């Protein structure tokens, strides 16, 4: 068996790194050498690739804030002979908001995964909740080190009970020698010592102990408070020794400077156990209860220390049954009284130490390692039966209920507003033809699926297009909130989208009045079709003409226009494509799937097999570059994708997803090949969290959709473009779910398509 560990790792000075190293050793110690191969480590670095001189077992290093490193790491793991992975999870060690960069790794991992959660938050932010849920979903087992965490995972994060296992935090196997060198030190031999150890940071509450010292010293003048440990590296980098300086200043103000001792270094486990054994009382003064596990507390109990702690979650569990004493958060008076009481009663102090030591024998790393071996073997055994990734075609049960609530919020008597601040309409940004054309398309689709509220919205979008059409039939694009035109002539993209919506209206109008309205605006715009130059404007127009011709098949001049515009796309394809690059340009930018989608529509109307061949060839090319993982990963808008360069992963846009869903829907209509339904549904789930960061863009609270997927997470604004892209995608999936394949035998077979040379 071979295990890959994903975590921070020594020589990085970090509690998680120590835990991971100890866990590796503990698991190995329970095996004969021939049964377990040397474990490998994927180490998480703060930033710089060569910051630490790692030992040989570290096979790959991830820079915390480099998203590409996570994707590269998972490729290395998937191609290795690793049997199983163990991930140590703590929000602060991974990049992105709430550490979401790690999601791209766990989402693509093809090996069984056990995740150890070191922090579970009772009141997580939306991003933190998404992160925990996504990791748990992609893990075969999750491990927590406190019983309260089991309850939280179930109730707050909806993690199934059967997926959760409780294993206590380990502690060293070593026994402290009776000839403890620390006890010989004058600091310990001449004083009553209160001790706290660990990386120093403000959440540790060390100031509470210093504030308690004046009262304690009144009764026990020889008490000293020893703070053992260096400042947390992340805090040292950002804030220096600000917190340590504050503690020194506080001690001076309270006139207890001679009773506070800093040992400013990171100590070995041998030294640590000696310090814990030599101290009279170990103090763990965390500031709030939201501490699901504490390695320092486990070490103190294992060493048989008399422990006094605030009532955080782990302390309440570990110090129950007389294994320690609790005092209130930030309550120096309660702490002082507790310490004085223990120092006044050596018998009570020794009783606490004995009970702690007895329980601590259960925390030995060898015993903990054996429990993890049981988990590993159970997960691997079940992997033989259960596939890690289950595929299905369309499962409407996982789709949110269709709702127009957010669209209604964005729509007024003028039309649909362009932008929103979070989920609140931003009227300052006004309106555009692009979005109102999409809104018209969406509302027609919704009417056909019997969503009755959609027909009430449609007049606003129709009247907006009428208002924005110029006398010569072209379209302006932008309109201010007070209905002032902001441009004289819109883009070809906006023109094409308007034609698409109008053509769809002519074919699918819910009543004759709307159909006639669509025909009139469509015909006024016809004179501009031949003059279109840009591929996406052409593609959108082709789709609109194709829908129009479904209703009016005999209009020869429109059929000729369709052929002329289609030829512009196929000519562009022939100019740029070669054996490896099957595309219309030397780059993939935005709304890419619109290009093959338009040819699928044109080919379906004209029956032109060459057009369909190019359509399916470009579809497969786009698919090859965006379906490299077990989810869809669109071309990002940061730098796009130029021939010979690396494809940009972020910023991912909702309209790219909508175009891809529509493309697969049309490919299914042309071929009746169910693989396109499967891929269509897979792309749609990008909105629900099946993406590179495993973050849903659909917002179940507002019924809106976030404006994009960025390196650091989602763009939390929810504009019209994104929510309409989501709703059109949703409706397309529902349409295809309710459509039964026909018995026709003359469908185009995409598998037989060969690119024309």
Residues 235 and 276 in one domain: yes
Question: Within a domain: residue 317?
Answer: yes
pLDDT at 177 over 80: no
Q: Which of 333, 363, 393 is the last residue of a domain?
A: 363
Residues 358 and 415 in one domain: no
Residues 153 and 39 in one domain: yes
- 606-658, pLDDT tens digit by residue? 999 999 999 999 999 999 999 876 678 899 988 899 998 999 888 999 999 99
Question: Within a domain: residue 333?
Answer: yes
Residues 7 and 98 in one domain: yes
Question: Within a domain: residue 485?
Answer: yes
Residues 196 and 299 in one domain: yes
- 443-467, pLDDT tens digit by residue? 999 999 999 889 999 999 999 999 9
Say if CB 80 and CB 40 are below 8 A apart. Answer: yes
Question: Within a domain: residue 554?
Answer: no
- 480-500, pLDDT tens digit by residue? 999 999 999 999 999 999 999
Residues 270 and 236 in one domain: yes
Residues 216 and 341 in one domain: yes
Residues 375 and 359 in one domain: no
Cα 720 from Cα 716, distance rounded (Å): 13
Mean of pLDDT values over 552-566? 93
pLDDT at 182 over 60: yes
Residues 310 and 455 in one domain: no
Question: Within a domain: residue 478?
Answer: yes
Mean of pLDDT values over 247-276? 91
Nearest to 496 by CA among 457, 522, 516: 522
Parallel, antiparallel, or unpaired for β 223-228 and 260-263?
parallel
Q: Which of 497, 531, 565 is the last residue of a domain?
A: 531
Q: How many CB atoms lie within 10 A of CB 385?
A: 6
Question: Within a domain: residue 113?
Answer: yes
Which secondary structure element, helix H or strand E, spans residue 88, and what is its range?
Answer: strand 84-89
Question: Within a domain: residue 312?
Answer: yes
Query: DSSP characters for 422-457?
Result: TTEE-GGG-EEHHHHHHHHHHHHHHHHTT-TTHHHH
Strand partners, 194: 225, 281
Q: Which of 352, 383, 414 is the last residue of a domain?
A: 383
Least confident of 18-27, 226-235, 440-449: 226-235
pLDDT at 430 over 60: yes
Nearest to 593 by CA among 539, 645, 647, 641: 539
Residues 102 and 192 in one domain: no
For residue 473, the enclosing domain spans: 404-531
User: Quick one: tokens of 7?
Assistant: 């975590």
Residues 211 and 321 in one domain: yes
Into how many domains does the chain fold?
A: 3
Q: Return the percentage of the chain with pLDDT > 70, whole number.
A: 94
Question: What pLDDT, on a 0 to 100 scale, did the predictor assign at position 49?
Answer: 63
Alpha-carbon torsion angle 426, 438, 568, 750, nearest 10 = 130
- Burial (0-12, 13-18, 19+ Cβ within 10 Å), 234: middle
Residues 199 and 346 in one domain: yes
Question: What pLDDT, on a 0 to 100 scale, did the predictor assign at position 629?
Answer: 66
Question: Within a domain: residue 711?
Answer: no
CATH number at residue 376: 3.40.50.2000
């Amino acid at each position: 068996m071979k295990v890959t560990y994903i975590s921070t790792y020594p020589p990085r000075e970090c509690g998680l790194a120590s835990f991971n190293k100890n866990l590796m050793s503990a698991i190995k110690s329970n095996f004969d050498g021939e049964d377990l191969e040397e474990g490998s480590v994927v180490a998480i670095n703060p930033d710089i690739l060569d910051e630490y001189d790692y030992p040989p077992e570290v096979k790959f290093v991830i820079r915390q804030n480099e998203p590409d490193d996570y994707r590269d790491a998972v490729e290395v793991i998937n191609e290795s002979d690793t049997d199983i992975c163990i991930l140590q999870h703590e929000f602060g060690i991974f990049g992105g908001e709430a550490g979401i960069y790690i999601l791209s790794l766990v989402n693509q991992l093809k090996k069984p995964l056990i995740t150890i959660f070191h922090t579970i938050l009772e009141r997580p932010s939306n991003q933190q909740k998404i992160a925990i849920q996504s990791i748990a979903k992609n893990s075969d087992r999750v491990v927590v080190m406190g019983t309260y965490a089991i309850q939280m995972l179930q109730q707050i994060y909806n993690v199934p009970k059967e997926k959760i296992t409780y294993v206590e935090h380990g502690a060293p196997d070593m026994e402290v020698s009776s000839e403890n060198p620390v006890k010989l030190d004058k600091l310990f031999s001449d004083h009553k010592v209160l001790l706290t150890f660990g990386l120093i940071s403000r959440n540790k509450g060390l100031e509470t102990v210093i504030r308690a010292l004046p009262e304690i010293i009144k009764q026990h003048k020889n008490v000293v408070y020893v703070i053992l440990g260096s400042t947390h590296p992340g805090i040292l980098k950002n804030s220096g020794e600000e917190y340590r300086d504050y503690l020194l200043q506080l001690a001076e103000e309270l006139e207890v400077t001679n009773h506070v001792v800093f040992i400013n270094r990171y100590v070995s486990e041998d030294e640590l156990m000696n310090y814990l054994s030599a101290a009279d009382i170990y103090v763990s003064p965390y500031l709030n209860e939201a501490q699901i596990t504490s390695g320092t507390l486990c070490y103190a109990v294992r060493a048989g220390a008399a422990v006094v702690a605030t009532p955080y979650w782990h302390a309440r569990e570990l110090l129950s049954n007389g294994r320690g004493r609790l005092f209130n958060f930030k309550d120096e008076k309660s702490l002082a009284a507790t310490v004085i009481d223990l120092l006044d009663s050596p018998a009570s102090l020794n009783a606490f130490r004995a009970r702690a030591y007895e329980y601590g024998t259960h925390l030995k790393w060898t015993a903990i390692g054996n429990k993890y071996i049981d988990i590993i073997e159970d997960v691997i055994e079940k992997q033989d039966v259960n596939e890690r990734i289950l595929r299905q075609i369309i499962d409407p049960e996982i789709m949110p209920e269709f709702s127009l609530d957010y669209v209604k919020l964005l729509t007024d008597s003028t039309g649909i507003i362009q932008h929103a601040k979070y989920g609140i309409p931003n009227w300052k940004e006004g309106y555009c033809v692009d979005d109102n054309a999409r809104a018209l398309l969406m509302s027609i689709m919704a009417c056909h699926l019997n969503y009755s509220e959609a027909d009430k919205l449609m007049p606003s979008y129709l009247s907006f297009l009428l208002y924005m059409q110029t006398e010569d039939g072209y379209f302006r694009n932008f309109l201010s909130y007070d209905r002032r035109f902001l441009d004289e002539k819109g883009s070809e993209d906006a023109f094409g989208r308007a034609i698409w919506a109008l053509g769809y209206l002519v074919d699918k109008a819910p009543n004759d009045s709307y159909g006639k309205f669509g025909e009139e605006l469509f015909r006024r715009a016809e004179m501009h079709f031949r003059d279109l130059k840009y591929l996406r404007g052409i593609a959108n127009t082709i789709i609109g003409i194709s829908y129009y011709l479904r209703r009016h098949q005999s209009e020869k001049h429109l059929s000729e226009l369709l052929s002329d515009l289609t030829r512009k796309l196929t000519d562009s394809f022939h100019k740029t494509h070669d054996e490896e690059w099957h595309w219309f340009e030397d780059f993939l930018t935005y709304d890419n799937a619109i290009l093959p989608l338009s040819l699928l529509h044109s080919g379906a109307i004209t029956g032109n097999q060459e057009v369909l061949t190019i359509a399916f060839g470009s579809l497969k090319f786009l698919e090859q570059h965006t379906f490299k993982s077990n989810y869809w990963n669109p071309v990002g808008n940061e730098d796009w994708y130029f021939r010979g360069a690396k494809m940009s992963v972020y910023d991912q846009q909702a309209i790219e997803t909508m175009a891809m869903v529509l493309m697969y829907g049309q490919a299914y209509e042309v071929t009746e090949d169910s693989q396109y339904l499967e891929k269509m549904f897979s792309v749609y789930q990008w909105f629900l969290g099946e993406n590179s960061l495993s973050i849903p863009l659909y917002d179940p609270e507002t019924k809106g959709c976030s404006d994009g997927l960025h390196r650091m997470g989602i763009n939390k604004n929810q504009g019209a473009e994104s929510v309409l892209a989501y709703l059109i995608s949703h409706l397309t999936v529902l349409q295809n779910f309710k459509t039964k394949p026909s018995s026709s035998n003359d469908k185009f077979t995409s598998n037989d398509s060969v690119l024309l040379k």
